[in-house]
Structure 1
Amino acid sequence: MTVLQATFIGVGSMVGAGIFALLGAAGAVAGSAVWVSFLIAGIIAGLQGYSFAKLGAKYPSGGGILTYLSRGLGEGHLTGIGSWLFFTAGSIVVAMIATSFGGYASSVVAGGDETWGKVLAVALIVVMSVLNTVGATAVARVQSVIVIVVLGILVVFAAVTIANIDLALLAPAGYPAAKEIVASVALTFFAFLGFGVITFTAKDLPNPARQLPKAIYMALAIATTIYIAVSIGVFGTLTADQVVEYGTTALAEAAKPSLGQAGYVLMVITALFSTTGAVNAGLYPSIGMTQHLASVGQFPPMFSRSVGRFPVGLVVMAVLASVLVIGFDLNKIASIGSAVALLVFSAVTVAHFRLYRETGASIIMLVIALVATLGTFIIFCTTTLVDEPTTALALVGIIVLAVAVDFTWKAAARRSKHPEAQA
Structure 2
Amino acid sequence: MQATFIGVGSMVGAGIFALLGAAGAVAGAAVWLSFLIAGIIAALQGYSFAKLGAKYPSGGGILTFLSRGFGEGHLAGIGSWLFFTAGSIVVAMIATSFGGYASAVVADDDRFWGKAFAVALILVMTALNAVGSSAVARVQSVIVVVVLVILTVFAVVTIASWDLTLLAPAGYPGAREIIASVALTFFAFLGFGVITFTAKDLPNPARQLPKAIYFALAIATTIYVAVSLGVFGTLTADQVVEYGATALAEAAKPTLGQAGYVLMVITALFSTTGAVNAGLYPSIGMTAHLASVGQFPPVFGRSVGRFPVGLLVMAALAIVLVIGFDLNKIASIGSAVALLVFSAVSIAHLRLFRGTGASVVVLVIGLIATLGTFVVFSTTTLVNEPATAIALVAIIVIAVAVDVWWKAAARRSTTPLRG
Q: How far, CA to CA, are the matches of 2:162 and 2:105 in structure 1?
A: 29
Deviations 1:110-142 (A, max 9, x none): 111111111111111110011001111110010
The Cα RMSD (Å) is: 0.9
Asked if the contact 2:119–2:322 (Cα under 8 Å) also holds between the matched residues in 1, the reply is: yes
Structure 2 equivalent of residue 218 of structure 1: 215
Asked if 1:367 is matched to 2:364, the reply is yes
Q: How far, CA to CA, are the matches of 2:268 and 2:120 in structure 1?
A: 17
Code of the aligned partner of 2:145:
I
Q: What percent identity do the matched residue pairs reach?
A: 84
Q: How far, CA to CA, are the matches of 1:230 and 1:304 in structure 2?
A: 41
Asked if 1:256 is matched to 2:253, the reply is yes
Asked if the contact 1:65–1:200 (Cα under 8 Å) also holds between the matched residues in 2, the reply is: yes
Cα deviation, residue 175, structure 1: 1.3
| 1:9 maps to which of 6, 10, 21 | 6
Code of the aligned partner of 1:190:
F
Q: Give 5+ residue unaligned stretches, structure 2.
A: none
Asked if 1:298 is matched to 2:295, the reply is yes
Asked if the contact 2:300–2:310 (Cα under 8 Å) also holds between the matched residues in 1, the reply is: yes
Structure 2 equivalent of residue 121 of structure 1: 118
Q: How far, CA to CA, are the matches of 1:397 and 1:336 in structure 2?
A: 11
| 2:180 maps to which of 167, 174, 183 | 183
Q: How far, CA to CA, are the matches of 1:237 and 1:17 in structure 2?
A: 23
Deviations 1:305-353 (A, max 9, x none): 0001100000000111111111111111111111100000000000001
**Which secondary structure state, in structure 1, belongs to the residue aligned with residue 417 of structure 2?**
helix
Q: How far, CA to CA, are the matches of 1:138 and 1:378 in structure 2?
A: 39
Could you state the TM-score of these two structures normalised by the residue count of structure 1?
A: 0.98
Q: How far, CA to CA, are the matches of 1:250 and 1:135 in structure 2?
A: 35
Deviations 1:17-68 (A, max 9, x none): 4211111111111111111111111111000000000000000000000000
Structure 2 equivalent of residue 141 of structure 1: 138
Asked if 1:321 is matched to 2:331, the reply is no
Asked if the contact 1:13–1:278 (Cα under 8 Å) also holds between the matched residues in 2, the reply is: yes
Q: How far, CA to CA, are the matches of 2:218 and 2:366 in structure 1?
A: 17
Asked if the contact 2:20–2:245 (Cα under 8 Å) also holds between the matched residues in 1, the reply is: yes
Code of the aligned partner of 2:186:
F
Asked if 1:96 is matched to 2:72, the reply is no
For structure 1, which segment, 238-247 or 287-296, has the greater mean C-alpha deviation from structure 2 after superposition? Answer: 238-247
Code of the aligned partner of 1:15:
V
Deviations 1:221-278 (A, max 9, x none): 0000000000000010011111111111111111000000011101110110000000
Could you state the TM-score of these two structures normalised by the residue count of structure 2?
A: 0.99
Asked if 1:275 is matched to 2:275, the reply is no
Code of the aligned partner of 1:314:
L
Q: How far, CA to CA, are the matches of 2:314 and 2:181 in structure 1?
A: 30
Code of the aligned partner of 2:395:
I
Q: Give 5+ residue unaligned stretches, structure 1.
A: none
Cα deviation, residue 419, structure 1: 4.0
Asked if 1:228 is matched to 2:225, the reply is yes
Aligned pairs for 1:43-58 (under 5 A) are 43-58=40-55
Deviations 1:375-405 (A, max 9, x none): 0000000011111111100000000000000
Cα deviation, residue 420, structure 1: 2.6
**Which secondary structure state, in structure 1, belongs to the residue aligned with residue 296 of structure 2?**
coil
Structure 2 equivalent of residue 406 of structure 1: 403
**Which secondary structure state, in structure 2, belongs to the residue aligned with residue 176 of structure 1?**
coil
Which stretches of structure 1, 4 residues or more, deviate above 2 A after TM superposition? none
Asked if 1:153 is matched to 2:153, the reply is no
Q: How far, CA to CA, are the matches of 1:399 and 1:258 in structure 2?
A: 47
Q: How far, CA to CA, are the matches of 1:7 and 1:263 in structure 2?
A: 28
Q: How far, CA to CA, are the matches of 2:170 and 2:316 in structure 1?
A: 49
Aligned pairs for 1:163-182 (under 5 A) are 163-182=160-179
Asked if the contact 2:14–2:191 (Cα under 8 Å) also holds between the matched residues in 1, the reply is: no
Asked if the contact 2:122–2:315 (Cα under 8 Å) also holds between the matched residues in 1, the reply is: yes
Asked if 1:197 is matched to 2:207, the reply is no
Code of the aligned partner of 1:292:
H
| 2:236 maps to which of 230, 236, 239 | 239
Q: How far, CA to CA, are the matches of 1:11 and 1:59 in structure 2?
A: 22
Code of the aligned partner of 1:206:
P
Asked if the contact 1:17–1:100 (Cα under 8 Å) also holds between the matched residues in 2, the reply is: no
Aligned pairs for 1:283-362 (under 5 A) are 283-362=280-359
Asked if the contact 1:290–1:303 (Cα under 8 Å) also holds between the matched residues in 2, the reply is: yes
